[in-house]
Amino acid sequence: MKILAIGDIFGKTGRQVIKKHLPELKEKYQIDLVVANVENATHGKGISKKHYEELENCGINVMTSGNHIFHLEKTQKEIDKFSRLIRPLNSNPYHPGKGSILTKVKGKKVRVTNLLGTTFMPGAPENPYWALEKIINLQDCDIHLVDFHAETTAEKIALALYFDGKISVL
């Protein structure tokens, strides 16, 4: 299975790059699943319904986010309508939307989970270790990809070391 993970798609330029190159990349490399961070796709902060649909039409299968996901108030009201978009699992538990998604690709169950780091991150997210442990305990997937949206390299390395062997990709 071939999975393409794309970092932060930023604004109009980022969307244009995706629109121009993603279909060609998917075909050339026979990509089976595309996961992309889209939290800054609309003018550098947030994602609108229009831009969500634009990226979906380009072939992105799962869209992850971060601390800017609800920059546009309308996104918070409509996120449940965006079936491919997930918010950080460990963000405010009263936020709408889901923080992890399970999909089937080539006969394999693939889980994509989105997490926020805690260092220099506003909004006091829940401990990402606890949040991810709950999902891992479900034991419901063959492949588990985690988009860890964090500010410090040390926090990313620590999470990677702790979950080494428990998740497939960070």
Catalytically active residues, by annotation: 68
User: Distance of alpha carbon 70 from its chain centroid, rounded?
Assistant: 14
Round to whole Å and give the CA distance between 61 and 79.
16
* Residue whose entry in the numeric block shows the structure tokens 């926020």: 116
Neighbours of 27 (CB within 10 A): 10
Residues in the chain: 170
Residue type, 159: L
